[in-house]
């Protein structure tokens, strides 16, 4: 199994070495480590150097926080070019949804411009995009991808109406399911609708979950539960889910 979306840099240095050994022993063969800002991107690249055969490094700026100033934005874009051989994706990038009430609509336009720059960079360097786009922000992000003829994009923790979901699938883009699929009907419905050939699994760790995961620190150890539930919803063997999601993740992010 591969965790297709994880904030590895948000675990403590003391935890990471111990966790990675534990995860490997549990059948986790890698994680896509996304970044939330410039400092996070540098830390993710450090972790890539420490664990080169386990970490897929993604560099980007999370859209739910204020955009970087011009200097940091330029440094991020330059970092992607400079470290192209160590980077598997541009991410986490996208458009804000949850923070608009806090930061105002001005944030949306600034993040839209930043996303456009990240899309251009990804296309130029032939890198996939690890995307944060939910609810009514899926369609505008999808429109941007199609306008730039982007071939590889991953909508993490995808939340949208059924028509928009189908547009994402028809466009050939990928999605990933989180532990919420084990207890939330909305996510179960996404699992039922999504083509298995475009599906990945993730935890978004260390983000906390509810349901059977209430109070348990989030790690890729949750992936077995995700696989079990998807297998039930898709009415197919767990081994098929594991094999296909690994194949799909490597198709998007390549080999380490």
The confidence score (pLDDT) of residue 230 equals: 98
The answer to whether the pTM exceeds 0.85 is yes
Order of strands across the sheet that contains 153-156:
2-6, 30-33, 55-59, 87-94, 129-132, 153-156, 174-177, 199-201
The confidence score (pLDDT) of residue 55 equals: 98
The confidence score (pLDDT) of residue 98 equals: 94
Which ranges constitute the DSSP H helices of 61-104?
70-82, 100-103
Find all residues with CB under 8 Å of 86, minimum gap 6, and list them. 45, 48, 49, 57
Residue with the two structure tokens 């979950």 = 209
Report d(CA 28, CA 148) in Å as an integer. Answer: 34
Query: Which DSSP symbol is given to 56?
Result: E
Find all residues with CB under 8 Å of 178, minimum gap 6, and list them. 157, 187, 202, 203, 204, 209, 226
Encode the chain (256 residues) as per-residue pLDDT tens digits. Answer: 999 999 999 999 999 999 999 999 999 999 999 999 999 999 999 999 999 999 999 999 999 999 999 999 999 999 999 999 999 999 999 999 999 988 877 889 999 999 999 999 999 999 999 999 999 999 999 999 999 999 999 999 999 999 999 999 999 999 999 999 999 999 999 999 999 999 999 999 999 999 999 999 999 999 999 999 999 999 999 999 999 999 999 999 998 7
- Tell me how long the chain is: 256
């Amino acid at each position: 199994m591969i965790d297709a979306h994880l904030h590895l840099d948000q675990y403590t240095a003391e935890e990471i070495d111990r966790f990675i050994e534990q995860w490997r022993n549990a059948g986790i063969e890698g994680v896509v480590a996304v970044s939330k800002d410039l400092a996070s991107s540098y830390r993710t690249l450090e972790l890539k150097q420490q664990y080169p055969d386990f970490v897929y490094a993604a560099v980007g700026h999370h859209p739910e926080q204020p955009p970087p100033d011009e200097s940091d934005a330029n440094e991020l874009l330059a970092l992607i070019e400079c470290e192209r051989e160590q980077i598997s994706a541009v991410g986490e990038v996208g458009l804000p949804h949850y923070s608009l009430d806090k930061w105002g609509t001005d944030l949306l336009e600034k993040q839209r411009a930043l996303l456009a720059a990240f899309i251009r960079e990804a296309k130029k360097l032939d890198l996939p995009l690890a995307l944060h786009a939910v609810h009514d922000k899926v369609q505008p992000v999808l429109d941007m991808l199609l306008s730039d003829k982007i071939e590889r994009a991953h909508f993490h923790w995808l939340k949208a109406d059924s028509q928009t979901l189908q547009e994402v699938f028809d466009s050939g883009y990928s999605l990933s399911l989180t532990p919420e699929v084990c207890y939330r009907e909305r996510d179960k419905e996404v699992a039922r609708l999504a083509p298995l050939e475009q599906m990945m699994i993730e935890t978004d760790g260390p983000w906390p979950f509810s349901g059977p995961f209430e109070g348990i620190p989030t790690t890729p150890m949750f992936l077995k539960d995700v696989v079990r539930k998807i297998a039930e919803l898709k009415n197919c063997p767990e081994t098929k889910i594991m094999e296909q999601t690994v194949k799909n993740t490597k198709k998007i992010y390549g080999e380490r």
